[in-house]
Amino acid sequence: MNRTPTLIKTTINDSGRTLTVEPNELLLDTLRDRLGLRGAKRSCDVQVCGACTVLVDGEPVSACTYLTTETAGREVLTVEGFAEHSEFVEFERAFVKHAAVQCGFCTPGMLLTLKALRDNGELEDEASLEAGLDGSICRCTGYSAILYAAADLAAAQEETG
């Protein structure tokens, strides 16, 4: 088994990074412990709950089970980076309006999952929305507020086209 640390070039929140990473290093640990990006949360550790979700090349991944080496040459977006994007304001508005945030632990992963669904045009269709949010658990809200926010985001996308 290769135990040698490797040097990777990756893009994290729109900035190029060069990192020396262990072959078994998990993206969640890299983000939280090495880069201080603590918006992604640790919860289930088994790729079920979605609290650690970040986007890699625009697709949601569970950072708790994703190797950092796999991000070489790719773009990682965390909630901290997403909050700097202009479209974030729409997400913020929708979540605030419907009180779709309670404890907030699932929120960063939920936002990024919804962004990916919207970018892929999967927000308007009920079945694809349900399938897309299947890996995003929220224990507080009962989900309906998040679905209302998703509907707002789908409508806003249609308007801006």
Partner 1 sequence: MTVSEQTGSGVGNSEDRKDAGPKLRGSAEFAGDIQVPDMLHGKVLRSEVPSATIASIDTSAAEAMPGVTTVLVGADLAQSDRQFGHAIKDRPIVAHDRVRFQGEPVAAVAAVDEATAEAGVRAILVEYKELPIVATIDEALADGAPHVHDDETRPGLFHGLGSLPDRVGNICYSYGLAAGSIEGTDAEATHAVEGTYRFPAVYQYAMETHTVVADFGANEITLWASCQHPFLVRAEIADLFGLPLSAVRVIVPYLGGGFGSKSYTKMEPITAALSWKARKPVRIQNRVDESMQTSRRHGLKCWMRTTASVDGRLLGRQVRFWLDTGAYADNGPRVCATAGDAAPGPYRWQAVQVNGDCVYTNTSPAGSYRAFGAAHLTWIGESQIEELARRASLDPLELRRRNLLSPGEAVRPDGTGKPLDADLAGDVERAAAAVDWEAPKPANTGRGLAVGVLAAGAHPVSRANVRVDADGQVEVNVGTTEVGQGARTVMAQIAATELGVEVAAVTVQGADTSFTPYDRSTGASRSTTVAGLAVQRAAADARKQLLEAAAGELGVDVGELEVEAGTISATGSRSIAYPKVIAGMFGFSGGEVVGQGEVRPKPGGSGSYAEGPVFWEVCVAGAEVTVDRETGEVTVNKTATIADVGKAINPLLVERQDEGGTMQGLGNALFEEMIFADGVLTNDSLLEYRVPRVADVPAQMQGIIVENADGPGPYGAKGCGEGPQAAVPAAIATALADAGVPMTELPLTPERVWRQMQSTKEEENA
Residue 104 Rama label (left phi>0; alpha psi -120 to 50; beta):
left
CA-wise closest residue to 106 among 65, 67, 139, 155: 139
- Using CB under 8 A as the binding rule, whether residue 20 contacts partner 1 is answered as no
When binding is defined by CB under 8 A, the residue of 19, 27, 114, 133 that contacts partner 1 is: 133
- State the nearest-atom distance from the C-beta of 119 to partner 1, in Å: 18
Residue 71 or 106 with smaller CB distance to partner 1:
106
Which window, 4-12, 115-123, 144-152, 153-161, contacts partner 1 (CB under 8 A)? 144-152
Q: What b/e string do you get for 9-44 counting C-beta neighbours within 10 Å, with b at 16 or more?
A: ebbbbeeeeebebeeebbbbbbbbeebebebbbbbe
- Using CB under 8 A as the binding rule, whether residue 134 contacts partner 1 is answered as yes
When binding is defined by CB under 8 A, the residue of 102, 124, 156, 157 that contacts partner 1 is: 102
3-state secondary structure of 133: coil
Residue 9 or 99 with smaller CB distance to partner 1:
99
When binding is defined by CB under 8 A, the residue of 6, 8, 42, 56 that contacts partner 1 is: 42
- State the nearest-atom distance from the C-beta of 32 to partner 1, in Å: 8
In whole angstroms, give the CA distance from residue 80 to residue 154.
22
3-state secondary structure of 108: helix
- Per the listing, tokens 């990756």 go with 10
**Pattern 53-72, partner 1, x by CB under 8 A:** --------------------
Which window, 4-12, 68-76, 116-124, 130-138, contacts partner 1 (CB under 8 A)? 130-138
CA distances from 24 to 19, 67, 153 (A): 14, 6, 37
Give contact residues for partner 1 (rule: CB under 8 A): 33, 37-46, 48-49, 51, 78-80, 83, 91-92, 95-96, 98-99, 101-108, 111, 130, 133-134, 136-147
